[in-house]
Amino acid sequence: MDINKLYTIICDRRDHPKEGSYTRQLLEAGEDEMAKKIGEEAVEVIIAAKGQGEQRIIEETADLIYHVLVLLASRGISPDLVMLELEKRHKK
């Protein structure tokens, strides 16, 4: 699954909330909770990188990316804008 497809699914959950959806729960919890989850997942990526193996790094990075995308969706910020920013930085 590519990031834009995942972002589209997250936006659909934002716009058409489904009972029991974790994405819905995060969005309803608000930005502070989303930021907290991003911090937790970032720490878990670091811990995984310090000796838990490649698969664990992949799993934790997937969690981190998902939570960042939920935050972006809550603000209506497309991942494409993040990629454009990275592109601008690469040209410097």
C-beta separation of 13 from 27 below 8 A: yes
Q: What is the pLDDT of residue 19?
A: 92
> What is the token pair recorded at 40?
């937790």
Question: What does the pLDDT read at residue 90?
Answer: 87
What is residue 60's predicted lDDT score, i.e. its pLDDT? Answer: 98
Position of tokens 């804008």? 81
Q: How many domains does the chain have?
A: 1
Please report, for the chain, how many H helices and E strands are present, in that order. Answer: 5, 0
Handedness of CA 21, 35, 58, 3 (dihedral sign): positive
As averages over each run of 10 residues, the pLDDT of the chain (92 residues) reads 95 94 96 97 98 96 98 97 93 68
CATH at 86: 1.10.287.1080
Enclosing domain of residue 43:
3-91
